[in-house]
Every structure is written in C-alpha cells, then in structure tokens.
Amino acid sequence: MENYSKEIDDIINYRRSVRIYDDEAPYNSEVVRKCIERATLAPNSSNMQLWEFIHVTSPEIKKKLATACFNQLAAKTAKELVVVVVRKDLWKKRAEFNYQKIKENLGDKKPEEYSSREKMALNYYKKVMPFIYFDFLGIFGFIKYIIAVITGIFRPMYRQVTASDIRIVAHKSVGLAAQTFMMSMAAEKYDTCPMEGFDSLRVKKILNLPHSAEINMIIACGIRKPEGIFTERYRVPFNEVYKKI
C-alpha cells in the first residue's frame, strides 16, 4: 500500500501545466489515444457520459486552433491537442444506451420477475432522466424548480433541476474525465496544459461541432521543455481549504 501511495504521489507531483513543448522529443500519438480511452472510465453523473474528446493530430487544424486559443504558447508548441466537449444535447441517446445496457444485463428475465432495484434502474433512465434533462426555452426548468422548492419543504429533494443547473452538472462530469486524462498522461510521462482561454465559437466552427455542443477545455499535449514550467508550484495554506468536522 505504501508503494502504491508513493506512485500516486509521483504522478500527481509530476503533472504540471506545461506551456512549452519539445518538438524533437520522442512522441507516440497512440499514448494520447490510450489516455483518452482511460478518461472515459471517469466517474460521471448518472453514467450519462455526456462527453466527446477530439484528438487533434492534424498540423493544419492544430494551427487554426492555436489561433483560436489566442496563440498561447501551450497551444502553439503542443504536439497535439485534445478538445474536451460537453454533449448535453445527446442526453436522449445516452439515456437510451443506459436503459438498453440494463435490459441486456437482465437477460431473459420477464418484467414481472424484476426486483424493485432493477425496476428502479430502468425507470431512472426512462422517466427520471427525461424529467431532469428535458426543457423548452427554460419554461419547463422553471416549473421543475418550483416543484423542487415545494417538495423540499417536506423532504430532502434534488434541487439542481434548471437548464443552467444541468449544464453545470454536465461540465463537472466532463471536468472529471479531463482530469483523469491528464493524470493518465502524467503516468506515461507525457505532459499537458488545460486551457480555458479560447474563442469557443471559432473552435466549434473549426471542428464542425453543432451549436448545442460546449467546449469544456482544450488540452495541449506533448513532452515538456524545462522552460515550459514557468514557476515552482505553490498553493494557499492547506488549513485554509481543509475543514474537519
């Protein structure tokens, strides 16, 4: 256990936001693909997996994206880019996917043979997910909010039901996947830099993404140059952010 903990510490300490990459260092694009595959195993809300990872290997597309990232050094010098996309618009497809997977796991069991837990799981994707994700011009979200407020007077109630709430939920899940990707890259001694400074409309146009898609972050990938880490890492004192009750 102690050796495993040290390994995790090494990976976390190795990961830095690297802003200048070595164009001559040995580099294997398949490592990045494997790390993206690991990222899809990240925890996410209701297993909806409302994400998409665009692995940019084309020098031409990378150059256009670097411009859309305001020519940040990390984007300009990166060997490749990974664009992490929130696809909340795919909620119906992903809910149906989960529903069918549960049905597959139930095998030849007849509906009357389902346990209460199995029925609840099926209803969760057929009824609860549509209730949470469906909206029309924010109107249904407001109605759900009122229902949540009134119900919450009498018992604990899930209150993040508006369109903006669900958008935040989706971005949190995608952020977990992005972090899983970066930790995986660090384990391979590959480097990354998550970037939030970009023109999202131009990025979506370059990648031919639908209007409903949202860019969570763009991650520069490569092998660091020593000068690519600008400063020593520092954080606010731990006792300012840690509370034990």
The tens digit of pLDDT for each residue in 195-241 reads: 999 999 999 999 999 999 999 999 999 999 999 999 999 999 999 99
CB neighbour list of residue 128: distance below 8 Å, 6 or more residues apart: none
pLDDT at position 145 is: 85
Q: CA-CA distances (angstroms) from residue 30 to 60, 190, 193?
A: 19, 12, 18
pLDDT at position 137 is: 77
Q: Do residues 119 and 103 lie in contact, with contact meaning Cβ atoms separated by under 8 Å?
A: no
Q: Name the residue with tokens 């509906």.
A: 111
Return the sign of the alpha-carbon dihedral for residues 196, 201, 202, 207. positive
The predicted model scores a pTM of 0.94
Cα 32–Cα 34–Cα 35 angle in degrees, nearest 5: 65
pLDDT at position 4 is: 76
Query: Is it true that domain 1-229 has CATH number 3.40.109.10?
Result: yes
Task: Give the bridge partners for 193, in sequence order.
Answer: 220
Burial degree of 166 (CB within 10 A; 0-12, 13-18, 19+): buried
Q: How many CA atoms lie within 13 A of 131 on its CB side?
A: 14
pLDDT at position 111 is: 92
Which stretches of the chain drop beneath a pLDDT of 50?
none
pLDDT at position 2 is: 66
pLDDT at position 135 is: 85
